Amino acid sequence: MEYHVKTLTELTSAELLAIMKERIAVFVVEQHCPYQEADELDETALHTWLQEGTELVGYTRIIEEADTIHIGRVLTVKKYRGTGYGELLMKKTLEAVKEHYPNQSVVLGAQEYATAFYEKFGFKVISDVYLEDDIPHVDMQLGE
C-alpha cells in the first residue's frame, strides 16, 4: 500500500483522472448530489491518496485556510470499504497535515453518520447539524 501527497501541478494526468473519477462516483453519483465537484480549492489543495498497485483505494484533500487546515473530500473506494483502509487513510492524512502545517488547527465537515469514525482520531463536533446538498453534516475540530 502506497500513500501519496501531491499538489495539483505535481499530479500526473492519470492520477488526476483516477481521483476525479472516484470523487464523482462517490460524491455525485452514489450520494445523488449533482454539484460542481471539482472546484477552485483543488488548485491549492494537497491531494492525498492510498494506492494498491495501480488502483486508488481512498482519497482526501487538505486545504490551507486563513487560520486553520481543512480536510475534505474524504472517501474510500466502494470495493475497499470495511477493510480498515479508511482508518489508514485518515491516519496518513493527519500525519501529512502535521508535516506540512505543524501547530495549526484542523477541521472538517463530516456527514453526520460518520462522526464516530472521526472521533476515533480525536475530532470533536463543534456545530449543530446542518444540511449540505440535502445531507446532514456537522463541523468537527481536532482536539488538542
**Cα 114 from Cα 139, distance rounded (Å):** 11
**Cα 20 from Cα 101, distance rounded (Å):** 25
pLDDT of residue 50: 96
pLDDT of residue 74: 94
Nearest of 137, 58, 40, 48 to residue 98 by alpha carbon? 48
**Torsions phi, psi for 23 (to 5 deg):** -60, -45
**Torsions phi, psi for 21 (to 5 deg):** -60, -45
pLDDT of residue 135: 85
pLDDT of residue 33: 79
Q: Where are the domains of the chain?
A: 2-102
pLDDT of residue 30: 85
Identify the segments of the chain with pLDDT beneath 70. 144
pLDDT of residue 3: 96
The CATH number of 2-102 is 3.40.630.30
